[in-house]
Protein backbone atom coordinates (compact mmCIF):
# COMPACT_ATOMS: atom_id res chain seq x y z
CA UNK A 1 0.00 0.00 0.00
CA UNK A 2 1.33 3.46 -0.77
CA UNK A 3 1.28 6.19 1.89
CA UNK A 4 -1.64 8.02 0.29
CA UNK A 5 -3.80 4.93 0.28
CA UNK A 6 -2.85 4.25 3.91
CA UNK A 7 -3.94 7.74 4.89
CA UNK A 8 -7.37 7.24 3.37
CA UNK A 9 -7.75 3.83 4.93
CA UNK A 10 -6.13 3.84 8.37
CA UNK A 11 -4.46 0.63 9.48
CA UNK A 12 -6.45 -1.34 11.99
CA UNK A 13 -4.82 -2.16 15.33
CA UNK A 14 -5.81 -3.64 18.67
CA UNK A 15 -3.62 -1.21 20.61
CA UNK A 16 -1.78 1.98 19.79
CA UNK A 17 0.71 3.04 22.46
CA UNK A 18 1.84 6.66 22.51
CA UNK A 19 5.22 6.85 24.26
CA UNK A 20 8.08 4.36 24.36
CA UNK A 21 9.15 4.81 27.97
CA UNK A 22 8.80 2.43 30.91
CA UNK A 23 5.01 2.04 30.80
CA UNK A 24 4.57 2.19 27.02
CA UNK A 25 7.23 -0.37 26.13
CA UNK A 26 6.01 -2.80 28.77
CA UNK A 27 2.39 -2.55 27.60
CA UNK A 28 3.22 -2.78 23.88
CA UNK A 29 5.53 -5.77 24.07
CA UNK A 30 3.33 -7.74 26.48
CA UNK A 31 0.18 -7.07 24.43
CA UNK A 32 1.95 -8.06 21.20
CA UNK A 33 3.32 -11.15 22.93
CA UNK A 34 -0.27 -12.18 23.55
CA UNK A 35 -1.15 -11.90 19.89
CA UNK A 36 -2.49 -8.32 19.73
CA UNK A 37 -1.73 -6.09 16.73
CA UNK A 38 0.24 -3.27 18.34
CA UNK A 39 2.04 -0.12 17.21
CA UNK A 40 4.08 2.21 19.43
CA UNK A 41 5.14 5.78 18.66
CA UNK A 42 8.22 7.28 20.30
CA UNK A 43 9.45 10.74 19.40
CA UNK A 44 12.71 10.48 21.34
CA UNK A 45 14.88 7.59 22.40
CA UNK A 46 13.32 4.27 23.36
CA UNK A 47 13.28 3.67 27.10
CA UNK A 48 11.91 7.13 27.92
CA UNK A 49 12.84 9.15 30.97
CA UNK A 50 14.08 6.28 33.14
CA UNK A 51 16.62 4.96 30.66
CA UNK A 52 17.76 8.20 29.04
CA UNK A 53 17.55 11.00 31.61
CA UNK A 54 16.24 9.44 34.81
CA UNK A 55 16.81 6.39 37.01
CA UNK A 56 19.62 4.72 35.08
CA UNK A 57 22.03 7.57 34.22
CA UNK A 58 21.34 9.08 37.62
CA UNK A 59 22.21 5.87 39.44
CA UNK A 60 25.37 5.48 37.35
CA UNK A 61 26.43 9.01 38.33
CA UNK A 62 25.51 8.28 41.94
CA UNK A 63 27.92 5.32 41.86
CA UNK A 64 30.55 7.61 40.35
CA UNK A 65 30.02 10.13 43.16
CA UNK A 66 30.25 7.35 45.75
CA UNK A 67 33.87 6.68 44.79
CA UNK A 68 34.85 10.07 46.23
CA UNK A 69 33.71 8.84 49.64
CA UNK A 70 35.25 5.41 49.12
CA UNK A 71 38.67 6.92 48.28
CA UNK A 72 38.58 8.96 51.50
CA UNK A 73 37.45 6.01 53.59
CA UNK A 74 40.06 3.67 52.18
CA UNK A 75 42.84 5.44 54.10
CA UNK A 76 41.24 4.41 57.39
CA UNK A 77 41.49 0.80 56.22
CA UNK A 78 45.18 1.03 55.53
CA UNK A 79 45.11 1.89 51.84
CA UNK A 80 47.52 4.47 50.55
CA UNK A 81 46.12 5.88 47.31
CA UNK A 82 49.09 8.09 46.52
CA UNK A 83 48.08 11.09 44.44
CA UNK A 84 44.60 12.47 45.05
CA UNK A 85 42.27 10.80 42.53
CA UNK A 86 40.62 13.15 40.03
CA UNK A 87 37.48 12.78 37.98
CA UNK A 88 37.58 12.70 34.20
CA UNK A 89 34.06 14.03 33.63
CA UNK A 90 34.30 13.51 29.87
CA UNK A 91 35.17 9.84 30.33
CA UNK A 92 32.28 9.33 32.74
CA UNK A 93 29.83 10.99 30.31
CA UNK A 94 31.08 8.87 27.41
CA UNK A 95 30.79 5.64 29.43
CA UNK A 96 27.26 6.56 30.49
CA UNK A 97 26.25 7.42 26.92
CA UNK A 98 27.57 4.09 25.66
CA UNK A 99 25.63 2.14 28.27
CA UNK A 100 22.42 4.08 27.60
CA UNK A 101 22.84 3.46 23.87
CA UNK A 102 23.14 -0.27 24.64
CA UNK A 103 19.91 -0.11 26.64
CA UNK A 104 18.12 1.76 23.82
CA UNK A 105 18.98 -1.18 21.56
CA UNK A 106 17.65 -3.67 24.09
CA UNK A 107 14.35 -1.80 24.26
CA UNK A 108 14.12 -1.87 20.48
CA UNK A 109 14.66 -5.65 20.46
CA UNK A 110 12.10 -6.12 23.21
CA UNK A 111 9.53 -4.45 20.98
CA UNK A 112 10.59 -5.98 17.67
CA UNK A 113 10.70 -9.51 19.12
CA UNK A 114 6.94 -9.90 19.57
CA UNK A 115 6.18 -7.83 16.45
CA UNK A 116 5.35 -4.34 17.72
CA UNK A 117 5.50 -1.80 14.89
CA UNK A 118 7.73 1.05 16.09
CA UNK A 119 7.04 4.52 14.69
CA UNK A 120 9.87 6.95 15.42
CA UNK A 121 7.74 10.08 15.49
CA UNK A 122 5.49 12.23 17.62
CA UNK A 123 1.94 10.85 17.67
CA UNK A 124 -1.28 12.80 18.04
CA UNK A 125 -4.88 11.76 18.32
CA UNK A 126 -7.03 12.78 15.39
CA UNK A 127 -10.23 11.50 16.96
CA UNK A 128 -11.11 9.04 19.72
CA UNK A 129 -9.98 6.02 17.68
CA UNK A 130 -7.51 7.47 15.19
CA UNK A 131 -3.85 8.24 15.81
CA UNK A 132 -1.56 10.09 13.40
CA UNK A 133 2.16 9.33 13.44
CA UNK A 134 4.95 8.97 10.92
CA UNK A 135 2.81 10.42 8.14
CA UNK A 136 0.25 7.65 8.56
CA UNK A 137 -3.09 7.17 10.28
CA UNK A 138 -3.92 4.25 12.52
CA UNK A 139 -7.30 3.16 13.74
CA UNK A 140 -6.98 1.45 17.10
CA UNK A 141 -9.53 -0.38 19.22
CA UNK A 142 -7.62 0.81 22.28
CA UNK A 143 -5.15 3.63 22.83
CA UNK A 144 -2.65 3.85 25.68
CA UNK A 145 -1.28 7.26 26.64
CA UNK A 146 2.18 6.63 28.10
CA UNK A 147 3.75 9.96 27.26
CA UNK A 148 5.40 10.54 30.64
CA UNK A 149 6.27 13.97 31.96
CA UNK A 150 8.80 16.76 31.65
CA UNK A 151 10.51 19.16 34.04
CA UNK A 152 8.72 22.34 35.00
CA UNK A 153 10.53 25.63 35.73
CA UNK A 154 8.76 28.36 37.72
CA UNK A 155 8.67 31.66 35.81
CA UNK A 156 11.31 33.40 37.92
CA UNK A 157 12.94 36.24 35.94
CA UNK A 158 15.94 34.70 34.19
CA UNK A 159 14.67 31.12 34.51
CA UNK A 160 15.66 30.47 30.89
CA UNK A 161 19.29 30.47 32.08
CA UNK A 162 18.59 27.57 34.43
CA UNK A 163 19.01 23.91 33.55
CA UNK A 164 16.56 21.08 34.14
CA UNK A 165 17.40 17.53 35.20
CA UNK A 166 17.51 16.35 31.55
CA UNK A 167 20.49 18.70 30.97
CA UNK A 168 22.61 17.46 33.86
CA UNK A 169 23.95 14.29 32.29
CA UNK A 170 25.86 15.94 29.45
CA UNK A 171 26.82 19.23 31.08
CA UNK A 172 29.86 20.88 29.60
CA UNK A 173 31.98 22.07 31.30
CA UNK A 174 31.58 20.43 34.71
CA UNK A 175 30.18 23.15 37.00
CA UNK A 176 32.52 24.10 39.84
CA UNK A 177 29.66 25.88 41.61
CA UNK A 178 26.17 24.42 41.21
CA UNK A 179 22.97 25.81 42.69
CA UNK A 180 20.06 23.39 42.89
CA UNK A 181 16.64 24.98 43.27
CA UNK A 182 14.04 22.66 44.84
CA UNK A 183 14.20 19.90 47.41
CA UNK A 184 12.22 17.01 46.02
CA UNK A 185 13.97 13.71 45.45
CA UNK A 186 15.45 14.68 42.08
CA UNK A 187 16.88 17.93 43.51
CA UNK A 188 18.39 16.14 46.51
CA UNK A 189 19.87 13.34 44.41
CA UNK A 190 21.43 15.77 41.94
CA UNK A 191 22.82 17.84 44.82
CA UNK A 192 24.42 14.75 46.35
CA UNK A 193 25.74 13.48 43.02
CA UNK A 194 27.38 16.73 41.91
CA UNK A 195 28.73 17.32 45.41
CA UNK A 196 30.33 13.88 45.30
CA UNK A 197 31.72 14.49 41.82
CA UNK A 198 33.47 17.59 43.10
CA UNK A 199 31.15 20.59 42.63
CA UNK A 200 30.47 23.07 45.38
CA UNK A 201 26.70 22.63 45.72
CA UNK A 202 24.11 24.94 47.26
CA UNK A 203 20.55 23.70 47.55
CA UNK A 204 17.79 26.30 47.84
CA UNK A 205 14.40 25.28 49.19
CA UNK A 206 11.60 27.79 49.64
CA UNK A 207 9.84 25.62 52.27
CA UNK A 208 11.05 24.76 55.74
CA UNK A 209 11.90 21.12 54.86
CA UNK A 210 13.50 19.06 52.17
CA UNK A 211 11.73 16.02 50.70
CA UNK A 212 8.23 17.10 51.69
CA UNK A 213 6.58 13.72 51.03
CA UNK A 214 8.94 11.79 53.32
CA UNK A 215 8.81 10.98 57.02
CA UNK A 216 9.58 13.96 59.23
CA UNK A 217 12.55 12.31 60.98
CA UNK A 218 13.95 11.05 57.67
CA UNK A 219 13.83 14.57 56.23
CA UNK A 220 15.79 16.16 59.04
CA UNK A 221 18.24 13.26 59.36
CA UNK A 222 19.16 13.21 55.68
CA UNK A 223 19.47 17.01 55.61
CA UNK A 224 22.00 16.80 58.45
CA UNK A 225 23.93 13.99 56.75
CA UNK A 226 24.00 15.74 53.37
CA UNK A 227 25.18 18.86 55.16
CA UNK A 228 28.09 16.88 56.62
CA UNK A 229 29.12 15.77 53.13
CA UNK A 230 29.42 19.42 52.10
CA UNK A 231 26.09 20.33 50.46
CA UNK A 232 25.10 23.84 51.59
CA UNK A 233 21.36 23.44 52.27
CA UNK A 234 19.44 26.68 52.61
CA UNK A 235 15.85 26.15 53.72
CA UNK A 236 13.12 28.83 53.62
CA UNK A 237 15.11 30.53 50.88
CA UNK A 238 13.69 31.54 47.55
CA UNK A 239 15.35 32.61 44.35
CA UNK A 240 13.78 35.84 43.04
CA UNK A 241 15.76 36.33 39.83
CA UNK A 242 18.88 35.31 37.98
CA UNK A 243 21.03 36.87 35.28
CA UNK A 244 24.33 36.28 33.58
CA UNK A 245 27.25 38.24 35.07
CA UNK A 246 30.99 38.37 34.55
CA UNK A 247 31.77 35.61 37.00
CA UNK A 248 28.99 33.24 35.94
CA UNK A 249 25.32 33.38 36.91
CA UNK A 250 24.15 35.83 39.57
CA UNK A 251 21.18 34.75 41.65
CA UNK A 252 19.13 37.12 43.80
CA UNK A 253 17.55 35.51 46.84
CA UNK A 254 14.47 36.68 48.72
CA UNK A 255 16.37 37.89 51.75
CA UNK A 256 18.39 40.28 49.65
CA UNK A 257 21.51 38.07 49.52
CA UNK A 258 22.97 37.04 46.24
CA UNK A 259 24.81 33.98 45.09
CA UNK A 260 27.10 33.18 42.19
CA UNK A 261 27.11 29.92 40.29
CA UNK A 262 28.43 28.30 37.13
CA UNK A 263 25.17 26.42 36.65
CA UNK A 264 21.70 26.46 38.18
CA UNK A 265 19.48 23.39 38.16
CA UNK A 266 15.77 23.97 38.63
CA UNK A 267 14.38 20.71 39.96
CA UNK A 268 11.04 22.22 40.77
CA UNK A 269 8.55 19.59 39.72
CA UNK A 270 7.31 17.86 36.59
CA UNK A 271 4.19 18.10 34.45
CA UNK A 272 2.50 15.46 32.29
CA UNK A 273 3.27 15.42 28.54
CA UNK A 274 -0.31 15.86 27.38
CA UNK A 275 -0.12 19.19 25.50
CA UNK A 276 -1.22 19.21 21.86
CA UNK A 277 -1.81 15.47 21.87
CA UNK A 278 -5.38 15.86 20.63
CA UNK A 279 -6.72 14.46 23.90
CA UNK A 280 -9.33 17.15 24.45
CA UNK A 281 -10.64 16.60 20.92
CA UNK A 282 -10.87 12.89 21.67
CA UNK A 283 -12.87 13.74 24.82
CA UNK A 284 -10.21 12.75 27.36
CA UNK A 285 -10.47 14.62 30.67
CA UNK A 286 -7.30 16.17 32.10
CA UNK A 287 -6.62 17.35 35.65
CA UNK A 288 -5.75 21.00 36.45
CA UNK A 289 -2.09 20.01 36.12
CA UNK A 290 -2.62 18.37 32.72
CA UNK A 291 -2.48 14.73 33.87
CA UNK A 292 -4.91 12.27 32.30
CA UNK A 293 -7.65 11.52 34.82
CA UNK A 294 -8.02 7.74 35.13
CA UNK A 295 -10.07 5.29 37.19
CA UNK A 296 -8.73 2.32 39.17
CA UNK A 297 -8.25 0.39 35.90
CA UNK A 298 -6.34 3.30 34.27
CA UNK A 299 -9.28 4.03 31.97
CA UNK A 300 -9.69 7.68 31.02
CA UNK A 301 -13.04 9.43 30.61
CA UNK A 302 -13.14 7.79 27.15
CA UNK A 303 -13.54 4.06 27.89
CA UNK A 304 -11.13 2.69 25.27
CA UNK A 305 -8.35 5.24 26.01
CA UNK A 306 -6.07 4.40 28.93
CA UNK A 307 -3.17 6.23 30.60
CA UNK A 308 -0.37 4.89 32.79
CA UNK A 309 2.82 6.19 34.37
CA UNK A 310 3.73 9.85 34.65
CA UNK A 311 1.07 10.93 32.15
CA UNK A 312 -1.63 10.04 34.66
CA UNK A 313 -1.86 11.28 38.18
CA UNK A 314 -0.46 8.45 40.36
CA UNK A 315 3.03 7.86 41.79
CA UNK A 316 5.78 8.81 39.36
CA UNK A 317 8.12 5.83 39.53
CA UNK A 318 9.22 3.35 36.88
CA UNK A 319 8.04 0.17 38.64
CA UNK A 320 4.66 1.83 39.18
CA UNK A 321 4.37 2.63 35.45
CA UNK A 322 5.28 -1.01 34.67
CA UNK A 323 2.72 -2.37 37.13
CA UNK A 324 0.02 -0.07 35.78
CA UNK A 325 0.82 -1.11 32.21
CA UNK A 326 0.40 -4.76 33.17
CA UNK A 327 -3.01 -4.10 34.69
CA UNK A 328 -4.16 -2.60 31.38
CA UNK A 329 -2.66 -5.43 29.29
CA UNK A 330 -4.18 -8.13 31.51
CA UNK A 331 -7.57 -6.48 31.23
CA UNK A 332 -7.50 -5.98 27.45
CA UNK A 333 -5.62 -9.11 26.43
CA UNK A 334 -6.08 -11.65 29.25
CA UNK A 335 -3.83 -14.67 29.46
CA UNK A 336 -5.75 -17.94 29.43
CA UNK A 337 -5.88 -19.57 32.85
CA UNK A 338 -4.40 -16.58 34.70
CA UNK A 339 -6.30 -14.09 36.80
CA UNK A 340 -5.69 -10.47 35.81
CA UNK A 341 -3.29 -8.38 37.86
CA UNK A 342 -4.67 -5.96 40.44
CA UNK A 343 -3.80 -2.27 40.49
CA UNK A 344 -0.72 -1.69 42.67
CA UNK A 345 -1.15 -1.01 46.38
CA UNK A 346 -0.07 2.63 46.33
CA UNK A 347 0.23 2.79 50.14
CA UNK A 348 3.05 0.24 50.21
CA UNK A 349 5.18 1.17 47.21
CA UNK A 350 8.79 1.01 48.39
CA UNK A 351 11.09 3.70 47.10
CA UNK A 352 14.65 4.90 47.44
CA UNK A 353 16.34 8.25 47.15
CA UNK A 354 19.93 7.96 45.99
CA UNK A 355 21.29 10.78 48.08
CA UNK A 356 24.54 10.19 49.96
CA UNK A 357 23.59 8.48 52.23
CA UNK A 358 20.58 6.78 50.59
CA UNK A 359 17.02 6.83 51.82
CA UNK A 360 14.83 3.73 51.63
CA UNK A 361 11.20 3.87 52.61
CA UNK A 362 8.00 1.82 52.48
CA UNK A 363 4.55 2.57 53.82
CA UNK A 364 3.27 5.47 55.89
CA UNK A 365 5.22 8.38 57.27
CA UNK A 366 4.57 8.96 60.96
CA UNK A 367 2.12 11.78 60.18
CA UNK A 368 0.26 9.60 57.65
CA UNK A 369 0.14 6.67 60.07
CA UNK A 370 -1.36 8.86 62.80
CA UNK A 371 -3.86 10.38 60.36
CA UNK A 372 -4.89 6.99 58.92
CA UNK A 373 -4.85 4.83 62.04
CA UNK A 374 -5.57 7.30 64.84
CA UNK A 375 -3.13 9.46 66.72
CA UNK A 376 -2.87 7.08 69.70
CA UNK A 377 -2.81 3.92 67.64
CA UNK A 378 0.80 4.13 66.44
CA UNK A 379 3.98 2.85 68.08
CA UNK A 380 7.20 4.40 66.85
CA UNK A 381 10.54 2.60 67.02
CA UNK A 382 13.67 4.55 66.05
CA UNK A 383 17.36 3.86 66.15
CA UNK A 384 20.38 5.85 65.09
CA UNK A 385 23.95 4.59 65.09
CA UNK A 386 27.40 4.78 63.59
CA UNK A 387 27.65 1.92 61.10
CA UNK A 388 30.50 -0.54 61.65
CA UNK A 389 32.09 0.54 58.36
CA UNK A 390 32.68 4.02 59.71
CA UNK A 391 34.45 2.91 62.87
CA UNK A 392 37.63 2.75 60.77
CA UNK A 393 36.73 4.92 57.77
CA UNK A 394 36.97 8.12 59.74
CA UNK A 395 33.60 9.37 58.49
CA UNK A 396 31.06 10.71 60.92
CA UNK A 397 28.14 9.41 58.83
CA UNK A 398 25.34 7.87 60.87
CA UNK A 399 22.47 5.56 59.97
CA UNK A 400 18.82 6.06 60.94
CA UNK A 401 15.98 3.54 61.03
CA UNK A 402 12.36 3.89 61.97
CA UNK A 403 9.43 1.50 62.23
CA UNK A 404 5.79 2.49 62.59
CA UNK A 405 3.47 -0.13 64.00
CA UNK A 406 -0.34 -0.11 64.22
CA UNK A 407 -1.01 -0.82 67.91
CA UNK A 408 -4.36 -2.53 67.33
CA UNK A 409 -3.23 -4.99 64.63
CA UNK A 410 0.53 -5.05 65.39
CA UNK A 411 1.07 -4.58 61.61
CA UNK A 412 4.22 -2.76 60.51
CA UNK A 413 2.82 0.13 58.47
CA UNK A 414 5.93 2.25 57.93
CA UNK A 415 9.61 1.40 57.54
CA UNK A 416 12.22 4.06 56.87
CA UNK A 417 15.97 4.14 56.64
CA UNK A 418 18.71 6.64 55.94
CA UNK A 419 22.03 4.93 55.38
CA UNK A 420 24.21 3.01 52.98
CA UNK A 421 22.27 0.68 50.65
CA UNK A 422 18.92 1.70 52.14
CA UNK A 423 17.14 0.96 48.84
CA UNK A 424 18.60 -2.54 48.67
CA UNK A 425 17.62 -3.22 52.28
CA UNK A 426 14.09 -1.83 52.17
CA UNK A 427 13.12 -3.81 49.03
CA UNK A 428 13.17 -7.07 51.03
CA UNK A 429 11.24 -5.64 53.94
CA UNK A 430 8.63 -4.30 51.48
CA UNK A 431 7.71 -7.89 50.57
CA UNK A 432 7.10 -8.67 54.23
CA UNK A 433 5.02 -5.50 54.62
CA UNK A 434 2.97 -6.33 51.53
CA UNK A 435 2.30 -9.74 53.10
CA UNK A 436 1.02 -8.00 56.25
CA UNK A 437 4.02 -8.60 58.54
CA UNK A 438 3.49 -7.69 62.18
CA UNK A 439 5.98 -6.42 64.72
CA UNK A 440 5.87 -9.91 66.25
CA UNK A 441 7.10 -11.31 62.91
CA UNK A 442 9.97 -8.80 62.93
CA UNK A 443 10.80 -9.75 66.53
CA UNK A 444 10.85 -13.48 65.67
CA UNK A 445 13.17 -12.90 62.69
CA UNK A 446 16.84 -13.62 63.35
CA UNK A 447 19.15 -10.80 62.31
CA UNK A 448 22.09 -11.18 59.94
CA UNK A 449 25.17 -10.15 61.88
CA UNK A 450 26.99 -7.88 61.45
CA UNK A 451 24.82 -5.80 59.11
CA UNK A 452 23.00 -2.51 59.43
CA UNK A 453 19.77 -4.22 58.31
CA UNK A 454 19.66 -6.42 61.42
CA UNK A 455 18.69 -3.35 63.44
CA UNK A 456 15.22 -3.54 61.85
CA UNK A 457 14.60 -6.82 63.68
CA UNK A 458 16.19 -5.90 66.99
CA UNK A 459 14.25 -2.77 67.96
CA UNK A 460 12.40 -3.93 71.06
CA UNK A 461 11.22 -0.86 72.96
CA UNK A 462 9.10 1.80 71.30
CA UNK A 463 10.34 5.37 71.54
CA UNK A 464 6.73 6.55 71.40
CA UNK A 465 3.49 4.64 72.05
P1 LIG B 1 8.49 8.08 30.28
O2 LIG B 1 9.51 7.10 30.70
O3 LIG B 1 8.78 9.51 30.52
O4 LIG B 1 8.23 7.83 28.74
C5 LIG B 1 7.39 8.64 27.99
C6 LIG B 1 7.88 8.64 26.57
O7 LIG B 1 6.87 9.17 25.74
C8 LIG B 1 9.11 9.51 26.33
O9 LIG B 1 10.14 8.71 25.77
C10 LIG B 1 8.63 10.59 25.37
O11 LIG B 1 9.63 10.94 24.42
C12 LIG B 1 7.47 9.90 24.69
N13 LIG B 1 6.45 10.81 24.17
C14 LIG B 1 5.84 11.84 24.80
N15 LIG B 1 4.90 12.38 24.02
C16 LIG B 1 4.91 11.67 22.86
C17 LIG B 1 4.16 11.75 21.66
N18 LIG B 1 3.19 12.63 21.51
N19 LIG B 1 4.45 10.88 20.66
C20 LIG B 1 5.45 9.96 20.80
N21 LIG B 1 6.18 9.84 21.92
C22 LIG B 1 5.90 10.68 22.94
N23 LIG B 1 11.78 6.38 38.95
C24 LIG B 1 12.17 5.34 39.71
O25 LIG B 1 11.40 4.39 39.88
N26 LIG B 1 13.42 5.29 40.29
C27 LIG B 1 14.30 6.29 40.13
O28 LIG B 1 15.41 6.22 40.67
C29 LIG B 1 13.93 7.40 39.33
N30 LIG B 1 14.80 8.41 39.12
C31 LIG B 1 14.44 9.46 38.32
C32 LIG B 1 15.36 10.47 38.11
C33 LIG B 1 15.03 11.54 37.31
C34 LIG B 1 16.05 12.64 37.09
C35 LIG B 1 13.75 11.60 36.69
C36 LIG B 1 13.37 12.76 35.81
C37 LIG B 1 12.83 10.59 36.90
C38 LIG B 1 13.17 9.51 37.72
N39 LIG B 1 12.27 8.47 37.96
C40 LIG B 1 12.63 7.41 38.75
C41 LIG B 1 10.89 8.50 37.42
C42 LIG B 1 10.76 7.60 36.21
O43 LIG B 1 11.76 7.92 35.26
C44 LIG B 1 9.38 7.79 35.60
O45 LIG B 1 8.39 7.60 36.60
C46 LIG B 1 9.13 6.80 34.47
O47 LIG B 1 10.08 6.96 33.45
C48 LIG B 1 7.73 7.01 33.92
O49 LIG B 1 7.53 6.17 32.82
P50 LIG B 1 6.47 6.56 31.71
O51 LIG B 1 6.37 5.39 30.80
O52 LIG B 1 5.23 7.06 32.34
O53 LIG B 1 7.09 7.82 30.95
Kindly tell me if the per-residue pLDDT of 394 is higher than 50.
yes
Indicate the Cα dihedral angle 391, 394, 395, 398, nearest 10°: 20
Query: Domains of the chain (ranges plus CATH)?
Result: 8-150+272-332 (3.50.50.60), 159-268 (3.50.50.60), 346-457 (3.30.390.30)
Q: Is the CB of residue 292 below 6 angstroms from any atom belonging to ligand 1?
A: no
**For residue 9, pLDDT beyond 80:** no
- Quick check: 432 pLDDT over 70? yes
Cα 147 to averaged position of ligand 1 atoms, centre (Å): 8
- Taking only the tens place, the pLDDT of each residue in 105-160 is 999 999 999 999 999 999 999 999 999 999 999 999 999 999 999 999 999 999 99
- For ligand 1, atom 38: residue with the closest CA: 54
* Residue 5 in this model has a pLDDT that exceeds 60: no
State in Å: Cα 101 to ligand 1 middle. Answer: 16
Q: How many whole angstroms separate alpha carbon 107 and alpha carbon 20?
A: 9
What is this structure's pTM? 0.95
- Cis status of the peptide bond prior to 450, with omega within 30 of 0: yes
Q: State the closest ligand 1 atom to the C-alpha of 308, by its place in the atom list counted from 1.
A: 52
Output the residue whose Cα is nearest ligand 1's atom 22: 19
Calculate helix-pair angle for 55-76, 89-112, nearest 10 degrees.
140
- State pLDDT tens for residues 243-270: 999 889 999 999 777 999 999 999 999 9
Query: 2 pLDDT exceeds 90?
Result: no
Number of H helices, E strands in the chain: 13, 21
Q: CA–CA separation, 210 vs 220, rounded Å?
A: 8
**Ligand 1 site, residue 19, Cβ cutoff 6 A:** yes
Amino acid sequence: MDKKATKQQPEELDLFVIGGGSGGVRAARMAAGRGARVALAEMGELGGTCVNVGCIPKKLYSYAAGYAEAFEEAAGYGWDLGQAPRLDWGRLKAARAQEIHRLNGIYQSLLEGPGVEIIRDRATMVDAHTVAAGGRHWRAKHVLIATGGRPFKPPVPGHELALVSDDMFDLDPFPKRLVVVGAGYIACEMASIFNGLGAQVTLLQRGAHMLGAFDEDVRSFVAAEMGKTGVDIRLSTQITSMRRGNGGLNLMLDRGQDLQADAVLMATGRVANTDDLGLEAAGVKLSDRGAVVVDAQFRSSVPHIFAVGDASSRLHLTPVALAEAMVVVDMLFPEAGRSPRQAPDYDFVPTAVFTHPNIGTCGYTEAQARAQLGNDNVSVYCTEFKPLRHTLSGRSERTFMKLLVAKDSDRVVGLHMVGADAGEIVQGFAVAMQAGATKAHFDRTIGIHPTAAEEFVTMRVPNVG
